[in-house]
Amino acid sequence: MDLFKKCFDYTRIEDLKEAGLYPYFHYLTTGQDTVVQMEGKRTIMIGSNNYLGLTSNQEVIDAGVEAIKKYGSGCSGSRFLNGTLDMHIQLEKELAEFLHKEDCVTFSTGFQSNLGIISAVAGRNDVIVSDKENHASIYDACRLSFAKLLRYEHNDMEDLERQLSSIDKDKGILIVTDGVFSMSGEICNLPEIVRLAKKYGARVMVDDAHGLGVIGEGGRGTASHFGLEDDVDLIMGTFSKSLASLGGYVVCSAKVANYIRHNSRPFIFSASITPASVACARKSLEILKREPERVENLNKLGDYFREGLTKRNIKFIPGKAPIVAIWTYTDENSFLACKMLLERGVYVNPVISPAVPVGQSILRTSFTATHTKEQLDEAMDKIKEVLDIILK
């Protein structure tokens, strides 16, 4: 059989394009902001992870430009060898201090961070217990680690305990959960996860990609939100969202960080984060520390959007974070809604099977601290107009 047979038989994309419903790869001719130019048209952006509005911040832009002038465009090697700059070390120190941990290791992307962390700390004699709705990078990391993977029903603490109680006592155990779940905006039940981890001798890792800059004291994330920073062993995050850059990190104890640096293949064998990306992340972190009101305003906007949807009788998944998932139920409804909304100047993300179970498709909306209520009102009015047509 031809290896490429699966490629030639894959017609879903052509079918969607022929129907005019293909929702991906729309291009921007401006930077990320609350309102963008998408394919030549003014578009309200409520499908971005630019939570603090810093991708267009002049201080952040200037920091990136100055870093390129000083260090060049890249590092030409891995952190392990010639690719470590003083600014990498400074960023790691600043993140560790901000998140109240001993040490930090940075990675070139957020996806790579999970691959590098989990594959280093978990091995063949270990068991990873993962929430079923965790990010795809966590699943791939579990495969790379060769540890046994057990999954528990989403945010179901009874099922988590059932899985933990089935594990032999001679196995190392890592419980992994998203802090803020990226599709629904739900927050994990971290207090109960920590309690069960202590009961069964497990370690806890929180993927806080959508938690940093979003919840917690001064935007410190999920562990801070619950007052459990000392009880979470590994906190992972990314620079591509609140910190307006590219890359990722883990904060943890100094001993564990040192082990990861010397045993993580994705860390050892990847080129280090570019100077501009490091500088933009550092400047964004500086602004987050200086302007915690951005986090407060971001969450107020999330609440305002949920209240507005309720007033308009639009059904959504309840949550607290500035991510709101609106029910469309079927993949076809999601595709059509995205098309009709884009035509009306509103961008949202379709979330379809198999990312969600069949019949549970949604539109994922997310907000930026610099959105105005007028922009959100305009978007909600258009969402209602479209859903009234599709779901009638």
Whether the Cβ atoms of residue 95 and residue 213 lie closer than 8 Å to each other: no
> What is the end-to-end Cα distance of the chain in Å, rounded?
46
Catalytic residue from among 182, 245, 334, 366: 182
Tell me the one-letter amino acid at 238: T
Q: Measured on CA atoms in the order 252, 283, 280, 245, is the torsion positive or negative?
A: positive
Catalytic residue from among 88, 101, 210, 225: 210
Catalytic residue from among 88, 241, 283, 339: 241
In the residue annotation, 182 being an active-site residue is answered as yes
Whether the Cβ atoms of residue 295 and residue 214 lie closer than 8 Å to each other: yes
CA distances to 97, 135, 148, 187, 219 from 183, in Å: 29, 9, 26, 11, 19
Whether the Cβ atoms of residue 76 and residue 83 lie closer than 8 Å to each other: yes
Q: Which of 123, 243, 221 is nearest to 177 (CA)?
A: 221
Six token digits for residue 44: 């309200």
Neighbouring residues of 348: CB distance < 8 A, sequence distance ≥ 6: 46, 47, 326, 337, 338, 341, 363, 364, 365, 383
**Helices 58-71, 275-290: crossing angle, 10 deg rounding:** 150
CA distance 298 to 49: 12
In the residue annotation, 210 being an active-site residue is answered as yes
Whether the Cβ atoms of residue 101 and residue 252 lie closer than 8 Å to each other: yes
* Residue 144, helix vs strand vs coil: helix
Whether the Cβ atoms of residue 322 and residue 306 lie closer than 8 Å to each other: no
In the residue annotation, 241 being an active-site residue is answered as yes
User: Where in the sequence numbering do the catalytic residues fall?
Assistant: 182, 210, 241
